[in-house]
A and B are shown apart, each in its own frame.
Chain A
């Protein structure tokens, strides 16, 4: 079976490629990339005016399976990913039970083959049961396919355990992903501490709680000479600490989310729980620092931190609502609207952070367009105007801070292993 993507703007950040041309797919793999590929016998996708990119990679997703399937499962989560233009996603281990053994890693990998529509990579827990006391069987999980190790969902309080975890995980050449926020300082806070929390009376989570934790975590990684990845960076201070660490050669990478890159704590003035997230939405100066960090390479990836919750869980008083919301299906639209159409980042810069950047961190062979590689491809219409309607999401998490917002830019086609799995917003499998 042949598929020809014709006349699109091909952006392939791994090779600094930004050209108009064709991509030929044969038997699930990329057969040719060029100015004009042979069309004989191929189904043709007219990509004129569209952007053709490596399949997008989201390295930070909560799929909630096993145990919390009312919020999300592999079937619904990977369909949401496909709708959002992602061909590979990596899921976090804060499930019930936690993903802290090779059996669970292998089981989820197996289920992904039957239930999933995009490629699923597993992130294993650093500590048994995510309890922060004893190391989980990290080596066993990595040998079963875990691509990284993390106790995400909360901060790892024990400095000693994080040091050991970094040393141990580092042996396998895999990164530890940290949720870096000192809970003692952020304790009991519901939003960013600043002028808005002062007015609302809501307890704040100060940015310095993130700065301190990021500094600690990076110092430990430097000491252990092991790779560390800082998840969902949200503070100006953290960006600067990561920047300095990179300059002195620490193996640190970092990500920012579409919401931290485009929203501020001003949104919380209505007490809308859709805006409650951890780390919290911060003030404009922090948002500006994140964008600078993306631009200069301090931040390597854009990841959604897709964290769906059941509708009724979020439909409560602000302080009782769980943090997080659905992010997979709005990511491309939000980032293009907020960063590309405003001229803050170029399209190749954005695509790099959504594909090659995260793939490299996780050691995946995806995120690039090359002959002979599996044909994982996303086709995006950067000018497509649409309004977010959570009810239509494929994810079970029907809350989004972008509900009813007008966005410009949308993935139109998602191709995994040469098969079209999403077209015009509809997931076909």
Chain B
């Protein structure tokens, strides 16, 4: 199938587990075009004029919410943000009711971040607007997965055949899961590493390599993707101390040197410098962390465009 014939199969973007490789490629190709818009003086394309997007965030987020907001605005859509710090259940209004209320206002896309795994699927079953999952609990964060792939492709020119090490709290990480699905489908070799207490039981059954020794995962890696460690995990007793984590599992210059000389260092942010990542390498020569943020915007613009315009080609982005 030629790229021109590929289009997004489903109404919603819920995760990368079910997304075919061809669709991911379409999104990445489209993002390349979108990235040009970000660098323009006047960052406004009329492509989504007259369309309405709601960012419905049940969890705090600066990075992802801002990225989606700007993505929509750069493409000319009307974007509003609804943030709430507690679950819909705690507030007394069900998620169903909230979604139907937003739907009744005629919005075209609901970008949803929610602490509960499967909430995006739940929303897609209920609401007519397109649902884009901006993170559902520890399940998936598809746009982060896509922007990570986009970044790797930008620096390495390819994804197939690369060794990608993902290091840190895999257990609670939606980023790790989306990365695993996306990278595997694109032919990369994924290695996960972290303390056993932060690795999901039986995760190796999905065909990836799992290590407790970070060094084994880093050995000759093309890409090192470091995940954020939330300090509350230590309070829950999943590892003894931040100090010990940094010493045994943290990525520093010495450990990074085990990877290939030109290995790319990534982090979905926000970083805990001195915990999971050493300050000197966070923005060092190998770091792609700032570029990830920019690419996130491009990928989200591409997605908004593709889900609304039903794009089978990318000319309209120009």
Binding site for B on A (CB under 8 A): 190, 193-195, 197-204, 206, 270-271, 312, 315-320
Contact = CB atoms under 8 A, between A and B. Distances in A.
B203 A195 contact: yes
A315 B203 contact: no
B73 to A, nearest CB: 29
B103 interface: no
Contact of B117 (A194, A202, A312, A316): A202
Contacts of B116: 317-320
B206 A271 contact: no
A317 B206 contact: no
Interface in B182-209: 200-203, 205-206
Contacts of A316: 88-89, 94-96, 122
Given A194-B202, A271-B118, A315-B94, A201 B174 contact: yes
B33 interface: no
Contacts of B88: 316-317
B201 A204 contact: yes
Contacts of A199: 17, 177, 203, 206
A315 B87 contact: no
A304 B94 CA distance: 29
Nearest to B118: A271
B118 A318 contact: yes
Interface stretch (B135-143, B280-288, B300-308): B135-143
B118 A195 contact: no
A195 B117 contact: no
Ranked 9 nearest A-B pairs via Cβ = A271-B118, A201-B138, A198-B200, A317-B116, A201-B139, A195-B202, A195-B205, A198-B203, A318-B118
A201 B117 contact: yes
A200 B118 contact: yes
A365 B145 CA distance: 62
Given A317-B89, A318-B116, A271 B177 contact: no
Contacts of A319: 116-118, 137
Nearest to A198: B200
B185 to A, nearest CB: 14
A318 B174 contact: no
B114 interface: yes
A203 B138 CA distance: 9
B67 interface: no
A206 B172 CA distance: 17
Contacts of B117: 190, 200-202, 271, 318-319
Interface in B53-87: 87
B102 to A, nearest CB: 16
Interface in B131-155: 136-140
Given A195-B202, A201-B138, A320 B174 contact: no
B174 A317 contact: no
A201 B205 contact: no
B121 interface: yes
Given A199-B206, A315-B94, A316-B95, A271 B137 contact: no
B119 interface: yes
Given A201-B174, A316-B94, A319-B137, 16 more contacts: A194-B202, A195-B202, A198-B202, A199-B17, A200-B117, A201-B137, A202-B139, A206-B201, A270-B121, A271-B122, A316-B95, A317-B95, A317-B119, A318-B116, A319-B116, A320-B87
Nearest to A270: B121
Nearest to A319: B116
Interface string B88-120: 110000111000000000000000001011110
27 contacts: A193-B201, A194-B202, A195-B202, A195-B205, A198-B200, A198-B203, A198-B205, A199-B17, A199-B177, A199-B203, A201-B139, A201-B174, A202-B139, A204-B201, A270-B121, A271-B117, A271-B118, A316-B88, A316-B96, A316-B122, A317-B87, A317-B88, A317-B89, A317-B95, A317-B114, A318-B118, A319-B118
Nearest to B116: A317
Contacts of B122: 271, 316-318
A51 B174 CA distance: 52
Contacts of B118: 200, 202, 271, 317-319
B275 to A, nearest CB: 22
A200 B15 CA distance: 11
Interface string B4-21: 000000000000010000
Nearest to A202: B117
B139 A198 contact: no
Contacts of B114: 317
B84 to A, nearest CB: 14
